[in-house]
Each structure stands twice: as C-alpha cells, then as structure tokens.
C-alpha cells in the first residue's frame, strides 16, 4: 500500500512514517508539508491513500482535497486533524473525503488506511457520534453567491441588530454616506426593498 503523507509539522509526518512502515506492506512514497504540495505529490505518485492534515498554511487540507477530487474523483483521501470542528466535518463529508480522524488516535490510523484502500469510508468514533446532528443543522448561507463581501456582511449584521446608519458608521469608522451606499448595494444584490427586509433575510439564513 503506497501512502503519501502531508502535514505541515515535519515531526508528525516522520512519526507517522515510522509507525506505518513498521508494517511490511505499507510504503511511504513521499512526504509533503502543505496543500499545494499535496496536489503536486498526488499527481506524481497517485498513492493508494493520501493521508493529510487539515490545518496547513497557504492551502489547507480541505482545499487541496477539493482540487484533487475534482480531477481524480476516485482519490482516497484520509484527513487528519487535532480539532473536532463541526465545519471541517461537514466540508469533509461534502467533498467526498474517504475518512476523517483525530490525529491523536494513532492506533486507528493504520486500520483506517486499510479500510479506505478497500473502498470504505472511515470516521473516528468521536466524529461518528456528531454526524447525525451535523446533517440536521441548517447550513449557513454562502454570501459569496450574492457577491456580498465581508464588509457588507458586517453591515447586514449590524442592521439586523437594529443599528442606524449613523451607529454603524461609528462602529465601522466609516462616513454615514458610505454606509448608505453600502446599504444600497446590499439591497440591490439581495433584491430587497428596505433595511427591515435585510434584517429578516439575515435571521432567516443565520
């Protein structure tokens, strides 16, 4: 079984390599340190399983997974993290990653690799317990679909909390006229009539 390991902590990568290569049928083909390198190494080695950390600089493991799976839908990607983060779990499920394990659970990594190689999907016990609740959660709105930027999102939130243009301007260190311009753009992008509808829209999609 050929494995590529990608983790921005070299000590973790080397520890995983040592643990896994004790088993004669596991070969670590390469080690990478970030998501961009993961994409490159996957192209180069086409491993049986890509074992990858989620939190990395520049391009994280989820972003790298999305890029790899877009070109290679059959790719077996097993994600590792030290964080039991709901958002990460949901994204991993949506992307089609074959597994999501907590990095601390070293004993589960080799069995998980074997399971993923054989076509199974693997999630750690702590993660499995959270999945039913996560799937029932209302997914937060992706404002980028409406071309709403971060500053406009902040103004929407202040409007929903009942602040006037003058109060928003003071909080955001903007002129009142600038806030009015932002509000006009928000109304146009969301196809709404007034600030009351903006507040309703915010709470409907919170």
**pLDDT mean across residues, the chain:** 87
Task: Compute φ and ψ for 100, nearest 5 degrees.
Answer: -150, 110
* Alpha-carbon span 50 to 103, nearest angstrom: 14
Write out the two tokens for 22.
């004790």
pLDDT of 135 above 60: no
Q: Residues 37-57: pLDDT tens digits?
A: 999 999 999 999 999 999 888
- Supply the DSSP symbol for 162: T
Two tokens, residue 111: 């069995």
Q: What is the pLDDT of residues 180-190, one digit of tens each?
A: 999 999 999 99
More confident: 147 or 88? 147
- The rounded percent of the chain whose pLDDT value lies above 70 is 90
The secondary element (H helix, E strand) that includes residue 51 is strand 49-53
Give the model's pLDDT for residue 128: 58
- State the Cα–Cα distance between residues 19 and 50, nearest whole angstrom: 16
Residue position matching structure tokens 């080695």: 45
Confidence of residue 199 (pLDDT cuts 50, 70, 90): confident
Contact yes or no for 29/21 (Cβ under 8 A): no
**pLDDT for the residue numbered 131:** 59
pTM of the entire predicted model: 0.62
Residue 125 is predicted with a pLDDT of: 62
């Amino acid at each position: 079984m050929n494995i590529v390991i990608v983790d921005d902590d070299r000590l973790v990568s080397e520890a995983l390599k040592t643990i896994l290569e004790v088993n004669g049928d596991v070969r670590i083909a390469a080690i990478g340190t970030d998501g961009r390198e993961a994409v490159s190494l996957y192209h180069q080695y086409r491993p049986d399983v890509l074992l990858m950390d989620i939190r990395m600089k520049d391009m994280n493991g989820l972003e790298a997974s999305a890029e790899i799976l877009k070109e290679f839908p059959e790719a077996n990607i097993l994600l590792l993290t030290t964080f039991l983060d709901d958002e990460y779990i949901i994204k991993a499920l949506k992307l089609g990653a074959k597994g999501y394990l907590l990095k601390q659970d070293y004993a589960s990594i080799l069995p998980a690799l074997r399971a993923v190689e054989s076509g199974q999907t693997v999630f750690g016990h702590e993660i499995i317990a959270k999945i039913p609740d996560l799937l029932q959660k209302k997914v937060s709105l992706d404002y980028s679909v409406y071309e709403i930027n971060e500053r406009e999102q902040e103004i929407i939130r202040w409007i929903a909390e009942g602040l006037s243009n003058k109060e928003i301007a003071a909080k955001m260190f903007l002129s009142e006229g600038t806030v009015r311009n932002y509000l006009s753009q928000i109304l146009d992008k969301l196809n709404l009539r007034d600030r009351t509808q903006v507040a309703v829209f915010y709470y409907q999609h919170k």
